[in-house]
Amino acid sequence: MHILFVVPGWPPESFWDVLFFKFPPLSAATLAGLTPSEHTISYADESIEPVDFSIKPDLVAITIMTPLAPRGYEIADRFRKMGVTVVIGGIHASNMPDEAACHADAVVIGEADEIWGNILKDAKSGQLKPVYRQRSYTEMDKILPANRTIYPKKGYFFENMIQTTRGCPYRCEFCTVTSFFGGTYRLRPVDLVMKEVESLKKTPGYIFFADDNLIAKPDHAVSLMEKLKNYRLRWVCQAPITIAKDEAMLQQFAEAGCHGIFIGFESLNPDNLSLMGKVQNKVEFYEECIRRIHDKGIGVYGSFVFGYDHDTESVFDEFLEFANRNALDGAFLPVLTPFPGTKVHKRLKAENRILTENWKYYDMATVVYQPAKMKVEVLQEGFWKVNKGFYSLSSTVRRLFRLSSLKRRSNIIFMPMNFGHVPAIRKARRSFKTPNYF
């Protein structure tokens, strides 16, 4: 069979479409790596290039997250009108399988690693089932190296994405990870991870360890660091704030080539953290956390969510002052988005605060619910204020060009990222159209 993997694109000039730094979805490459060689594989990511509807594959596999679901359904419908079989999976389809089923011949709920071969056999024989779900979560030693040859030669900032674990032991109210992985945390054998590292064709470039929490099992993380330090690699990862409390592990990260850590600080308000269920975060430790990581030459990319119930209009200026004072290297600054399947979506819906379930607005840049302590319009403008303020020339210079910042090796990644975001975010703001439900 000819199998086409499709990743729907963001609407033109949306907040995420205009950003220069694109990341490939690891799920498509993972399934491509599990596809028997008898099949032909094609790949289309609309953030890089348009889908070619002049071809007629035997099977189209579409992975969708919530804000891209409307576009994913459009693509699916068009191929089905051509007589092409369509399978839809991903986080959104897993949370909304009945909705996805209206646009697909089959819906995959949850992980597909161990049933992908069965899906292909059924599709080839014309006996595709309407729903597929693994009996249990994927055994991590069965994950083969991703097939990155499907990616286009140009367009992605990071191509070398690798998972060493799946899931997260925390259960934050707003997070889709728990709903998808069921609160599990599973370890991929370190030897298998290193085989995949060694197979990378672009090892001089960066590796992004795409785990939601790289250090939940410290022994596994330490074993990985021991292996990585034997290579001259540059990599980034995600980890909770607690990593800064382990001096030995931070040193091992530095020696193994870590250039940046994505940390979910989420809020400067302890009451918000309590509501989120972010029990591991202590606001009073934030500045010390950043300083300890910076002292190792590692950059900090912080995530802060705006619009939680204890946020007032002052939160935007408070964040910008905090970020500049602590020389935060980069930041992900979304508005709270109550994705289907999350606890916060259920809570806000029960409180009659959801303003729309038109999924195209669930892009983490558009307010889709009624905030508790500010008007919808105030939160929306606050989102643009913190993003434009953080990714401004003055803020970038203030954060990255102080003497202590210039010493960090992480600048090789964070300086281009910051300067690239400056015009992109301004462009996105100009093209933003206020939804009619405001």
- pLDDT computed for residue 204 by the predictor: 53
| Host H or E run for residue 237 | strand 234-238
Which stretches within 257-363 are classed as H helix? Answer: 270-276, 286-295, 315-325, 343-350
Paired with 5 in beta bridges are: 43, 61
* Mean pLDDT, range 222-238, rounded to an integer: 93
Cα 90 to Cα 30: distance, rounded to the nearest angstrom: 13
**C-beta separation of 146 from 8 below 8 A:** no
pLDDT in tens, 389-413: 999 999 999 999 988 888 888 888 8
- pLDDT computed for residue 174 by the predictor: 86
> What number of other Cβ atoms are within 10 A of residue 299's Cβ?
28
Q: Tokens 């939680």 appear where?
A: 308
Cα 403 to Cα 411: distance, rounded to the nearest angstrom: 12
**Is 0.75 topped by the overall pTM?**
yes
- pLDDT computed for residue 401 by the predictor: 93
Domains contained in the chain, CATH given: 2-133 (3.40.50.280), 158-431 (3.20.20.70)
3-state class of 208 per DSSP? strand
Cα 264 to Cα 259: distance, rounded to the nearest angstrom: 17
What DSSP character marks residue 354? Answer: B
Cα 255 to Cα 222: distance, rounded to the nearest angstrom: 12
pLDDT at 279 over 70: yes
What DSSP character marks residue 323? Answer: H
pLDDT over 70 percentage in the chain: 98
Report the half-sphere exposure of 361 (CA within 13 A, side-chain side): 17
Mean of per-residue pLDDT scores for the chain:
93
pLDDT in tens, 344-397: 999 999 999 999 999 999 999 999 999 999 999 999 999 999 999 999 999 999
* Mean pLDDT, range 108-131, rounded to an integer: 96
**C-beta separation of 45 from 152 below 8 A:** yes
* Mean pLDDT, range 272-299, rounded to an integer: 95
**Integer-rounded Cα radius of gyration of the chain:** 21
> What number of other Cβ atoms are within 10 A of residue 64's Cβ?
27
402 vs 5 pLDDT, higher one: 5
* Mean pLDDT, range 284-306, rounded to an integer: 97
If pLDDT is split at 50, 70 and 90, which confidence band does 202 have? low
If pLDDT is split at 50, 70 and 90, which confidence band does 14 have? confident
- pLDDT computed for residue 203 by the predictor: 53
Task: Please choose, from the candidates 179, 198, 221, the residue with its C-alpha nearest in 3D space to the C-alpha of residue 345.
Answer: 179
Cα 354 to Cα 348: distance, rounded to the nearest angstrom: 6
pLDDT at 75 over 80: yes
**C-beta separation of 132 from 106 below 8 A:** yes
3-state class of 405 per DSSP? helix
Cα 280 to Cα 264: distance, rounded to the nearest angstrom: 10
- pLDDT computed for residue 87 by the predictor: 98
Task: Please choose, from the candidates 109, 110, 128, the residue with its C-alpha nearest in 3D space to the C-alpha of residue 118.
Answer: 128
If pLDDT is split at 50, 70 and 90, which confidence band does 5 have? very high
If pLDDT is split at 50, 70 and 90, which confidence band does 217 have? very high
Per-range mean pLDDT, top range of 65-69, 180-184, 277-281: 65-69
What DSSP character marks residue 300? Answer: E
- pLDDT computed for residue 19 by the predictor: 67
| Host H or E run for residue 100 | helix 97-101
90 φψ region: left (φ > 0), alpha (ψ -120 to 50), beta (else) = left
pLDDT at 201 over 80: no
pLDDT at 29 over 90: yes
CA distances from 271 to 266, 280, 327 (A): 12, 13, 25
* Mean pLDDT, range 270-284, rounded to an integer: 94
**C-beta separation of 211 from 205 below 8 A:** no
Compute CA 7 distance to the chain's CA centroid, rounded to the nearest angstrom: 14
pLDDT at 295 over 70: yes
**C-beta separation of 85 from 105 below 8 A:** yes
Phi then psi for residue 275, to 5 deg, are -65, -35
pLDDT at 25 over 80: yes
- pLDDT computed for residue 20 by the predictor: 59
Maximum distance among all Cα pairs of the chain, rounded to whole angstroms: 64
